[in-house]
Amino acid sequence: MDISKQTTTGLDQLKDVYYQFVSEIDSNDPTLKLALFFIMFNPTFWNIAARLEYNTHIITKIAGGAKRGCYLLAATIFGLGIVRDYYFHKSLETQVTSDLLDYSLVKYLGAALFGSGQVLVLTSMYQLGITGTYLGDYFGILMDHIVTAFPFNVCANPMYQGSTLTFLGTSLYYGKPAGVFATLVVNLMYTLALKFEEPFTAKIYAKRDEAKATKST
């Protein structure tokens, strides 16, 4: 048996699957373009808005208080998320269903991933509350302790990871290559967002702890 020939054949088959998968994505679909726009815009917006609030307190001034400001930002982020999800689902309606994904097993996997993702999102919101979920630390609303209960004992960023699983699960359930591609963009944007958010949040809490230590001495 020629192992090198088998390997080459296997790679060619994977290449064929890849090209078929990509060819089934209608990149000219306006609803897909809008979905991708909001997938990229939303985390960019909330990071810019949160940094602006931290440095200038502009949202606090507009809302008339830090907590009200955080709720205002939360409502805006939530609203943008609804718009994003609307266009994502509309794009799935118009995109091709791939023969590569049109299997019962893939549907079951999609449903399981969707359910798991929703559990992570909802339980993380329950643990953090509105201000903890929606960047309250940038408003000076800090948590007393690091949350270590489920789902934070399972993954570091359950909100983002749960959202990504939800997108992937939905895409697989409906057998849409365009949805899988959109999920990759979701994951990329959340990964980039964390590179900005995690060190800055750590800096905020370090500053708080330093202030506490100074007061106690």
Which of 123, 196, 106 minimizes the C-alpha distance to 161? 123
Helix locations, 134-176, DSSP H: 158-174
Which residues fall in the annotated binding site? 115-117, 197-198
3-state DSSP assignment of residue 98: coil
With b meaning 16 or more CB within 10 Å and e meaning fewer, what string describes 3-28? eeeeeeeeeeeeeeeeeebeebbeee
The span from the CA of 199 to the CA of 168, in Å, is 27
Cα separation of 84 and 190, whole Å?
14
Binding residues for S-adenosyl-L-methionine are 115-117, 197-198
